[in-house]
């Protein structure tokens, strides 16, 4: 079925794919399977997208299903909402997720509330690259999840690897509800993440966290790029200190998988939360409060968080490295909490 550009045919040839290729495959397969799925965004057609996620899509699906939009994020997100009302399943690409702010009004005031107002569900996905580490500065490096986390009616998904990226994106497109889907651009072409995916159709359940490393000293909860930095930190403290850390990848941020988190913390008695987003108003605070409500008596130490600083993302490489949570930061937090 996956005839088309090389980057959407690798799984059918049993070749490993990158995170970016997994996203491309998900979009291609859903467009092949369902004619109501279409794409809209800036430069996604002839140019193939800023990161070439949609390279070759225009030639296969045509301009009615791969729609090049003007620089008007609020406008083309609203157009996607109208199409969803008419039975379509639009996938909106933000060239960088930082640019989603003009669409905040239509996403929070109209799209998220549509079903509650009796106007019916709006099955649409707004997806795009997030995250720092590439010197993009404050306009091309933000994590936008918490801007929408407080909005009932939205789903927020943030995968950390190609398997989950493909399965969660397919599940998001099929969901009868609006989804904000974040893809860390630092993971897009990472050679270390290349993996062979199942050739058969699959989805990853939305709202389900996953334990990606077993351990009994403490539970570390994270998502996105920080999954990989946390895994590196956990390997270091295991080798150097004999501390075995359990790591939970949230995968879906809204809704949170409370049962998985509570069960993990009850088993280890300690909780460390790591996220790339800035500190104040970050998801760590919400997770900490939920654990406080449901697992306080199992805690053997304070809940600790490692996050980015409360600052716009710096341009300069040295400042950006200082701003972002590092492996060393996570190692230090693990050691401190394990000793408590």
**Phi then psi dihedrals of residue 30, to 5 deg:** -70, -35
Cross-sheet strand order for the sheet of 155-157 = 66-68, 37-41, 89-93, 125-130, 179-184, 155-157, 252-254
What is the rounded distance in angstroms from the CA atom of residue 215 to the CA atom of residue 221? 12
Q: Which of 115, 133, 132 shows the shortest CA–CA distance to 124?
A: 115
Quick check: 51 and 129 in contact, CB under 8 A? yes
Q: Mind telling me the catalytic residues?
A: 140
HSE at residue 207, side-chain half, CA atoms within 13 A, is 6
Cross-sheet strand order for the sheet of 210-213 = 210-213, 245-249, 218-222, 271-278, 304-308
């Amino acid at each position: 079925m996956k005839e088309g550009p090389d980057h959407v045919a690798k799984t059918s040839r049993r070749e490993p794919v990158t995170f970016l290729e997994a996203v491309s495959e998900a979009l291609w397969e859903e467009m092949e399977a369902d004619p109501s799925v279409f794409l809209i965004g800036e430069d996604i057609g002839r140019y193939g997208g800023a990161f070439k996620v949609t390279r070759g899509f225009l030639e296969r699906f045509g301009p009615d299903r791969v729609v090049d939009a003007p620089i008007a994020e609020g406008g083309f997100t609203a157009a996607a909402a109208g199409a969803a009302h008419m039975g379509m399943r639009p996938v909106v690409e933000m060239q960088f997720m930082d640019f989603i702010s003009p669409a905040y009004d239509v996403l929070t005031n109209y799209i998220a509330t549509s079903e509650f107002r009796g106007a019916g569900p709006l099955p649409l996905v707004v997806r795009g690259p997030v995250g720092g580490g590439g010197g993009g500065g404050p306009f091309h490096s933000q994590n936008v999840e918490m801007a929408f986390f407080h909005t009932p009616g939205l789903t927020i998904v943030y995968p950390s690897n190609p398997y989950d990226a493909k399965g969660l994106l397919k599940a998001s497109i099929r969901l009868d509800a609006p989804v904000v889907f974040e893809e860390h651009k630092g993971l897009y072409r990472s050679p270390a993440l290349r993996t062979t995916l199942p050739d058969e159709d699959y989805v990853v359940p939305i709202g389900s966290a996953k334990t990606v490393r077993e351990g009994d000293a403490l539970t570390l909860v994270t998502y996105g790029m920080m999954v990989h930095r946390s895994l590196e930190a956990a390997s270091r403290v295991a080798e150097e200190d004999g501390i075995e850390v359990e790591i939970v990848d949230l995968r879906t941020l809204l809704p949170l998988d409370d049962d998985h988190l509570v069960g993990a913390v009850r088993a280890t008695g300690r909780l460390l939360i790591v996220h790339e987003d800035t500190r104040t108003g970050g998801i760590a605070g919400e997770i900490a409060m939920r654990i406080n409500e449901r697992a306080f008596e199992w805690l053997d130490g304070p809940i600790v968080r490692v996050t980015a600083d409360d600052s716009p993302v710096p341009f300069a490489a040295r400042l950006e490295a200082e701003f972002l949570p590092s492996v060393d930061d996570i190692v230090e937090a693990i050691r401190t909490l394990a000793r408590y």
